[in-house]
Structure 1
Amino acid sequence: MVAKLKALWELTRLEHGLMYGIGVVIGVVVSSGLDIEAEKLIFGILTAIFLQAAAFSLNDYCDYEVDLRNKRMDRPLVRGDLSRKTALVVSILFTPFGFIVAFLISFQAFFLAFLITLAGFLYDIKLKEFGVAGNIYIAFSMAAPFVFGSVVAVNTITMGVAILAAIAFLSGFAREIMKGIEDVEGDSLRDVKTVARTKGIKVAARYSAIIFILSVLLSPIPFFFVDKF
């Protein structure tokens, strides 16, 4: 039983869900200074946890053959601890849970959660093969919790959160370009069109450095928008 629970944790990457939940709280704080009903805040955190669990489960389901070839023993499906069917069922179950909880917050929160989840499923099924498009999605997923937190709190995206999300997006995008340099050999096997493969390693390193610097330059700005403490 304990082994199965551990495998489910690894499948759904619940540690990521907790980080996404913290991202939602940060989005709430920047947009409203925690001037929010506790129920809405809890629902926002649960939405993030449920939907990321669904996305990661589908990711492992779709990547099973590749992970098997690459001997990814950190994946419970590859180890045989869980079946592919289980991963698909977990994804199918967690998705409506996330949508229901988001709808209990507001229609705006539900709609945004739907768009974020749709993007995640498209990434799992196809986008990751397109290199830069996959990089953009991963960067977007790093920014999304802050944006969702703002919508949970005030039903819109405040300027402070927009800038915070832009910083997260740029940092994530730069990181993904850098990872493309590290994974250039493996990506060639799958014909993933990363910046490093299409433009060269030096160009990719230059792009990554410039984007990282831009994100650092923007980093002090959100603090000027937190004024309710």
Structure 2
Amino acid sequence: MFNAGLFGLFRLMRVELSFAAGICVLLAEVLARGGPPSALQALCGFLAAFFIAASVLVLNDCFDIETDRMNSPLRPLPAELVTCEVAVAFSAVLVLFGLFSAFLLGWQAFIVVAVLLLFGILYNWRIKRYGLAGNLMVAVTVGMTFIFGGVAVGNLSEPMVWFMAVMTLGVDLGEEIAADALDVEGDRRTGSHSLAVMFGSDRAMHVAAGVFGFVLSLGVIPFAFGWFDRVYLLPIVLFDVVVFHSVSRMLNPRIPDRITDIRRIYIAGTAMILVVTLMRLTIG
């Protein structure tokens, strides 16, 4: 039972999403500095984003427990692997680790992380039920991980930091709208005003596809302005192919378990950011 509880807490963190937040910060630090950050900046920047994201995701399951009883009964809380009280306490511990990591980077970094935490709590507590407004809040929070990376190394003037923040914001917005389109029945029962509840899941999914298409079209900007050499085309084009394939599947209501296509975009985006970071460090 003890091991099951630990595994449940691990699942609540949704490590792939928390890891992606940390990777976004690392890339922003590399872009802002024009090279590798210090060991302290890299480690504390990654950990601050990882722990704060994980804490917010744990809280999300606490607020969503009734919805998950219908939509995802195998999640740790509805499956009773972990109690809400334990989950909240675990989230608080993660918050302390995240805030301490940010504090080691300075007061400005600490304030940005505190704002990210506040946004996450407000989203879980109130804003999520308001549909598009909730989607936008999550997307802005994800995009702000790049802003945090720039703050962590003391440089927000690098245009690629802001460009990647906008791109990440757009991708996450599309994923949020698409996820709502797949959870429409549960959201309707819990009083959510998502686009899918208001206008139907098919229309919401087409809106998500439009957001993805717009974001992918922005991919030419860093090459047009000379921010990236052509060698960076490979990871970006591969990501575009994954997004295009996943979106084409998400638009087909006859395909079961389309949530895996949303996860595929998350994973592909994280991999692309990781590859671009390594390329920036090795070839400039």
Q: Give the TM-score of the pair, scaled to structure 1.
A: 0.88
- How many angstroms does 1:91 deviate by? 1.3
- How many angstroms does 1:186 deviate by? 2.7
SS at match of 1:225: coil
CA–CA separation in structure 1 for the residues paired with 2:51 and 2:45: 10
- How many angstroms does 1:158 deviate by? 2.8
Is the contact between residue 77 and residue 84 of structure 2 (CA under 8 Å) also seen in structure 1? yes
CA–CA separation in structure 2 for the residues paired with 1:200 and 1:212: 19
CA–CA separation in structure 2 for the residues paired with 1:200 and 1:126: 22
Superposed CA deviations along residues 8-54 of structure 1, whole A, max 9, x for unmatched, are 21122223222211111111122223342111110001101211121
1:125 aligns with 2:150: no
Aligned to 1:27: 28
Aligned to 1:59: 60
Aligned to 1:43: 44
Is the contact between residue 196 and residue 204 of structure 1 (CA under 8 Å) also seen in structure 2? yes
CA RMSD of aligned residues (A): 2.3
CA–CA separation in structure 2 for the residues paired with 1:203 and 1:7: 35
Aligned to 2:254: none
Is the contact between residue 170 and residue 212 of structure 2 (CA under 8 Å) also seen in structure 1? yes
1:184 aligns with 2:179: no
- What amino acid is aligned across from residue 184 of structure 1 in structure 2? V
Closer/same/farther in 2, CA of residues 136 and 157 from structure 1, 3 Å limit: farther
Is the contact between residue 30 and residue 225 of structure 1 (CA under 8 Å) also seen in structure 2? no
Is the contact between residue 22 and residue 45 of structure 2 (CA under 8 Å) also seen in structure 1? yes
- What amino acid is aligned across from residue 105 of structure 1 in structure 2? L
Aligned to 2:175: 175
Is the contact between residue 57 and residue 91 of structure 1 (CA under 8 Å) also seen in structure 2? yes
Aligned to 1:114: 114
Query: Where in structure 1 are there 5+ consecutive unaligned residues?
Result: none
RCO higher in structure (CA 8 A, sep ≥6): 1
Aligned to 2:227: 225
Superposed CA deviations along residues 66-116 of structure 1, whole A, max 9, x for unmatched, are 32344521x212222211111010112221221121011021111110111
Aligned to 1:147: 147
Aligned to 1:210: 210
Fraction of identical pairs, as percent: 31
SS at match of 2:96: helix
Matched pairs, number: 228
Q: Give the TM-score of the pair, scaled to structure 2.
A: 0.72
